[in-house]
Amino acid sequence: MLVAFATLLQLSVAQISLTVDTGDLKPLDICGSTSARMTVSNNKVYIYGGTSWIRNDTSLPFAVTNHYLRIADFTSTRDLSDESIMTAEGIPGFVTIFLTGAFWSDEEWLYAVGGQTEGAPYLTEQGQFVPANWTYWSAGTIFKYEIQNGNWSSEPARPPENGEITTGTFCCGNFGWNERLGRGYVFSGSNYPGVTQLDPNAPYYYTGISDPHGTGNMMTFDTATWRWSNKTTDEQLTTTWTESGALVFLPGTETTDGGIAISLGGVGKEPSDNMESMREVLVYDSKTDSWYRQETTAEGNNFPASRDDFCAVAVSASDNSSHNIYIYGGQTLGVDDGFSDMYVLSIPSFHWIPLDVSNSVPHVSGTCAALANRYIVTYGGFGTVNVGNSLKSGCNWDNHGLRLFDMSNLEWTSSYDASKSSYAVPSAVYAVIGGNGDGAATKTTPAAGFQTSDLGTIFAAATGASTTSSSPSSSGSPTNGPAPSSSSSSHTGAIAGGVVGGVAFIAIIAIGSWLLRRRSKRKQAAPLAPAPPFEKHGTPVYNYGHNYAPTPTQELEGRREVHELNAHPVDPQGNSAVNDAQRYH
For strands 246-249 and 260-264, give the pairing. Answer: antiparallel
Would you say residue 555 lies in a domain?
no
Would you say residue 532 lies in a domain?
no
pLDDT, the chain, mean = 77
Binned at pLDDT 50, 70 and 90, residue 270 comes out as: confident
Would you say residue 459 lies in a domain?
yes
Would you say residue 250 lies in a domain?
yes
The beta-strand segments (E) located in 329-450 are 342-347, 351-354, 367-371, 375-379, 402-406, 411-413, 415-416
Q: Considering only CA atoms, which of 246, 408, 417 is closest in space to residue 316?
A: 408
CATH number at residue 285: 2.120.10.80
Would you say residue 559 lies in a domain?
no
pLDDT at res. 524: 30
Structural domain boundaries, residue 387: 22-474
Q: What's the number of domains the chain is made of?
A: 1
Would you say residue 480 lies in a domain?
no
Q: Considering only CA atoms, which of 50, 68, 507 is closest in space to residue 309?
A: 50
pLDDT at res. 464: 63
pLDDT at res. 188: 80
Would you say residue 447 lies in a domain?
yes
Would you say residue 515 lies in a domain?
no
pLDDT at res. 114: 84
pLDDT digits (tens, 9 = 90+) for 162-174: 756 666 777 888 9
Percent of the chain clearing pLDDT 90 (strictly above) = 47
Element (H, E) at 314: strand 311-316
Which of 186-190, 200-204, 436-440 bottoms out in mean pLDDT, i.e. has the lowest? 200-204
Q: Which is more confidently placed, 316 or 395? A: 316
pLDDT at residue 550 tops 70: no
Instruction: Determine the Cα–Cα distance for residues 284 and 259; give it in Å rounded to an integer.
Output: 8
pTM for this entry: 0.82
Q: Considering only CA atoms, which of 134, 46, 55, 52 is closest in space to residue 92?
A: 134
pLDDT at residue 96 tops 80: yes
Q: Which is more confidently placed, 514 or 464? A: 464
Residues sharing a CB contact under 8 Å with residue 539, sequence separation 6 or more, in sequence order: none
Segment 411-440 shows an average pLDDT of 96
Segment 120-130 shows an average pLDDT of 85
pLDDT at residue 237 tops 70: yes
